[in-house]
Amino acid sequence: MAALDLNTVSAVIFDTDGVVTDSARVHAAAWKHVFDTFLTGRGGRPFDIREDYLRYVDGRPRHDGVRTFLASRGITLPEEAPPGTPSVRSLAEAKDALFLEQLERYGVAAFPGTVALLHDLRHRGARTAVVSASRNCSRVVTAAAVAHLFDVLVDGNDAARLGLPGKPDPALFLEAARRLGVAPERAAVVEDALPGVEAGRRGGFGLVVGVDRTGGGAAGLAAAGADIVVADLDELEVTGRVPVNTG
How do residues 19-33 score in pLDDT, each as one tens digit?
Answer: 999 988 888 899 999
Are 59 and 159 in a shared domain? no
Dihedral (Cα; 161, 162, 165, 169), 10-degree rounding: -140
- Contact between 229 and 221 under an 8 Å Cβ cutoff? The reply is yes
pLDDT at 153: 98
Residue 235 CA to chain centroid, in angstroms? 19
Question: Which of 45, 120, 142 is closest to 130 using CA atoms?
Answer: 142
Q: Is the pLDDT of residue 229 over 80?
A: yes
Query: Do 88 and 6 belong to one domain?
Result: no
CA 164 to chain centre: 15
| Residue 57 · residue 82 · CB < 8 Å | no
Percent of the chain with pLDDT over 90: 77
Name residue 182's amino acid: V
Structural domain ending residue among the three candidates 71, 89, 106: 106
Residue 3, strand partner residues? 237
**Do 134 and 221 fall into the same domain?**
yes
CATH for 232? 3.40.50.1000
Residue 11, beta-bridge partner list: 127, 187
What digits encode the pLDDT tens for the residues 155-180?
Answer: 999 999 999 998 999 999 999 999 99
User: Considering the domain boundaries, does residue 246 fall inside one?
Assistant: no
My answer on whether 100 and 119 are in the same domain is no
pLDDT of residue 216: 81
Mean of the per-residue pLDDT values for the chain? 93
Give the model confidence (pLDDT) of 101-149 as tens digits.
988 888 899 999 999 999 999 999 999 999 998 888 999 999 999 999 9
Residues 7, 94 within the same domain: no
CA distance 24 to 57: 11
Element (H, E) at 26: helix 24-39
pLDDT given at position 247: 36
15 given a catalytic annotation:
yes
Number of domains in the chain: 2
Find the domain containing 48 and state its range: 25-106
First vs last C-alpha separation in the chain = 35
Tell whether 96 and 81 lie within a shared domain.
yes
232 is catalytic: no
User: Do 149 and 173 belong to one domain?
Assistant: yes
pLDDT category at 246 given cuts 50, 70, 90 is very low
Of 57, 3, 1, 4, the residue nearest 188 (C-alpha): 4
- In the DSSP assignment, the letter for residue 21 is B
247 domain-assigned? no
pLDDT for position 245 = 65
Q: Do both 136 and 17 map to the same domain?
A: yes
Question: Which pLDDT value is given to residue 175?
Answer: 98
Whether the pLDDT of residue 59 is over 80: the answer is no
Report strand pairing: 127-131 vs 236-239.
unpaired
What amino acid occupies position 88? V
What single DSSP character describes residue 151? S
Average pLDDT over residues 86-92: 96
Does residue 145 sit in the same domain as residue 40? no
The helix (run of H) or strand (run of E) holding residue 100 is helix 88-106
Same-domain status, 75 and 60: yes
Beta bridge partners of 191: 210
Asked whether residue 163 is domain-assigned, the answer is yes
Q: Are residues 56 and 102 in the same domain?
A: yes
Give the mean model confidence (pLDDT) for residues 92-108: 90
From the list 5, 17, 64, 151, the catalytic residue is 17
Lowest mean pLDDT among 73-82, 96-105, 153-162: 96-105
Q: Are 190 and 211 in contact (CB under 8 A)?
A: yes
Among 5, 15, 120, 232, the one annotated catalytic: 15
